[in-house]
Amino acid sequence: MDSSRIEGTAQDLGGKVKDAIGGLTGDTSLQAEGKADQGVGQLKNFGGQAIDFAKKQPLAAAGMTVLLGFLLGRGSKR
């Protein structure tokens, strides 16, 4: 398991705690910080999942990368 997945899960959980505490105390700033932490944590977790997939299935990951590049290239010409 990639360390990004562990860090992301921990940051997401910490963000949920901040969000809940902010909601209970009425601290909207803490709530917003918690929601931001959750988003960053989820992105880190997703990135870690992509790294794990690429390590287990390198050819599939390379093919998906080429396809994504092709689709993004076609979309930017319109």
The residues spanned by each domain of the chain are 3-76
Residue 78: pLDDT over 60? no
Alpha carbons within 13 angstroms on the beta-carbon side of residue 27 total 14
Tokens at 48, concatenated: 């870690």
Q: Which residue has the higher pLDDT, 75 or 21?
A: 21
Residue 57: pLDDT over 60? yes
Whole-number average pLDDT of the chain: 92
Average pLDDT rounded to a whole number, residues 48-71: 91
Tokens at 39, concatenated: 């988003």
pLDDT per position as a tens digit, 21-42: 999 999 999 999 999 999 999 9
Tokens at 37, concatenated: 């932490």
